[in-house]
Amino acid sequence: SSIPKIVILGAGYGGVLTSLRLQKELNYNEADVTLVNKHDYHYITTHLHMPAAGTDNPENARVNISKLIDEFKIDFVKSTVVQIRPQDRKVILEDGTLSYDYLVIGLGGEPETFGIPGLLENAMNIRSINSVRLIREHIEYQFARFKREPHRTDYLTFVVGGAGFTGIEFIGELSDRIPELCKQFDVDPSLVKIYNIEAAPTALPGFDPELVEYAMEVLRKKGVTFRIGTAIKECTPDGVIVGDGEEIRSQTVIWTGGIRGNRLIEEAGFETMRGRVKVDEFMRAPGHENIYILGDNSLVFNPEGRPYPPTAQIAMQAGVNCAHNLVASIRNQPLKGFAYSNKGTVASLGKGEAIGIAFGKKYKGRVAAWLKKAIDLRYLFIIGGIPLVLRKGKFL
């Protein structure tokens, strides 16, 4: 048929926003839109630090895709993408093939291990519902194991590698969860050690130093030991090797040391830096007028020539811009360049505590925690309206 086919890969922040906008802006029979995602749910990645630590249920960090998109307007396919073939305008799924006229790639990032030996095999990551289920169960299991082998204090040592926002938010939750687990398992809290290990000279490198100091103080009071300016060199089944050879024995290593793009993108032949494609001003892959790349898989530069950090915020804005340009392409109208507008950054430090910069001002403590909640509610509203806010909002 002559109806253009749009295929969207990944129902993350970028893919969902693109889908929602397309279903609103496209007229009847103007395009065939297909959304492909590995699971039949969208996960709220920005909430995953809570279920990972066990301070919230994983159910509260996911939403069924059928509740978000209108299946009369968008075909949803639950499947895993195994190959992208730009030369044939095809996408190979584990159980079929899709052809497209326009492709949107929003498959999200993967943990970056920088080739550090043993990390892939021995550390866990906060990336998806399944990965946080594992972390949550694993932490609880260490307490149960300790009760059977009380000499194994390494069961009670928890290592978080990397003090970026993911590491800091997780450690905020973990330090809230540990006292509960100590009570539940009758374990002396003084036996538990939580280490946050950061290679850079400061936690949250590049963020406001006063807020970073505040965050570290809040976390130290909750029992966290920071090892700043100390790199993880190796991860083994017994723990981590840091700095110049010191071993920290632990059965629980959570790696939050950074992310890279999805390897399907490199395999498809796109030129990448750490798995990300340096997109053009319209968020398209260079040399491919019909392929848009969003979110953690794209590299977008600010006017000073430095890359923006990969966030949900930029992925959402890219999705909106991408949908606009897809509609414009189909209607032979001019495309709109992508201009990122940074609304700020707010990070949680556990219950009732957070830090952030928004509206050009600094926030900390309760006000910042409230702001974080407001941002999360706003997101639920954007993707699912009032019904989703009412269903999930009370858990945030």
Helix (H, G, I), strand (E, B) or coil at 31: coil
Length of the chain: 396
Site for ligand NAD in 148-207 (CB under 6 A): 161-167, 169, 197-200, 205
353 binds ligand FAD, rule: CB under 6 A: no
Question: Which of ligand NAD, ligand FAD, none binds 108 (CB below 5-8 Å, type-dependent)?
Answer: ligand FAD
Query: Which residue, 58 or 111, is less far from ligand NAD as judged by CB?
Result: 111
The 16-45 site mask, x for binding ligand FAD (CB under 6 A), equals --------------------xxxx--x--x
Query: Which residue, 166 or 329, is less far from ligand FAD as judged by CB?
Result: 166
310 binds ligand NAD, rule: CB under 6 A: yes
Question: Which of ligand FAD, ligand NAD, none binds 315 (CB below 5-8 Å, type-dependent)?
Answer: ligand FAD
Greatest alpha-carbon pair distance for the chain in Å reads 71
> Minimum Å distance from CB 95 to ligand NAD?
31
Query: Which residue, 107 or 369, is less far from ligand FAD as judged by CB?
Result: 107
262 phi, psi to nearest 5 deg: -75, 135
Which is catalytic among the residues 169, 173, 198, 353?
A: 169
> Minimum Å distance from CB 87 to ligand NAD?
32
Residue-wise over 156-180: b if at least 16 C-beta within 10 A, else e? bbbbbbbbbbbbbbbbbbbbbbbee
Pairing assessment for the beta strands 32-37 and 5-9 based on DSSP bridges: parallel
Q: Which two tokens stand for residue 155?
A: 């069961």
382 binds ligand NAD, rule: CB under 6 A: no
Query: Which residue, 309 or 352, is less far from ligand NAD as judged by CB?
Result: 309
Question: Which of ligand NAD, ligand FAD, none binds 164 (CB below 5-8 Å, type-dependent)?
Answer: ligand NAD
Q: Is 198 a catalytic residue?
A: no
CA angle 395-164-364, nearest 5°?
60
311 binds ligand NAD, rule: CB under 6 A: yes
> Minimum Å distance from CB 318 to ligand FAD?
8
Query: Which residue, 11 or 159, is less far from ligand NAD as judged by CB?
Result: 159
The 319-358 site mask, x for binding ligand NAD (CB under 6 A), equals --------------------------xxx-----------
* CA 346 to chain CA centroid, nearest Å: 15
- Name the packing angle between helices 312-330 and 13-25 (round to 10°): 30
Site for ligand FAD in 260-319 (CB under 6 A): 294-296, 310-313, 315
Residues contacting ligand NAD: total by CB under 6 A = 26
Question: 197 near 260, Cβ under 8 Å?
Answer: no
R_g over Cα of the chain: 22
Percentage helix, strand, coil for the chain under 3-state DSSP, each rounded to 5:
40, 25, 35
Helix (H, G, I), strand (E, B) or coil at 149: coil
Site for ligand FAD in 94-153 (CB under 6 A): 106-108, 126
* Half-sphere exposure of residue 152: CA atoms within 13 angstroms, side-chain side: 15
Contact partners, residue 89, CB within 8 Å, separation at least 6: 99, 100, 101, 103, 290
Question: Which of ligand FAD, ligand NAD, none binds 56 (CB below 5-8 Å, type-dependent)?
Answer: none
Burial label for 70, CB within 10 Å (0-12, 13-18, 19+), is exposed
CA angle 245-213-378, nearest 5°?
110
User: Which residues contact ligand FAD by CB under 6 A?
Assistant: 10-15, 36-39, 42, 45-46, 48-49, 80-81, 106-108, 126, 166, 169, 294-296, 310-313, 315
User: Which residues contact ligand NAD by CB under 6 A?
Assistant: 116, 161-167, 169, 197-200, 205, 231-232, 256-259, 309-311, 345-347
Which residues form the catalytic set?
Answer: 169
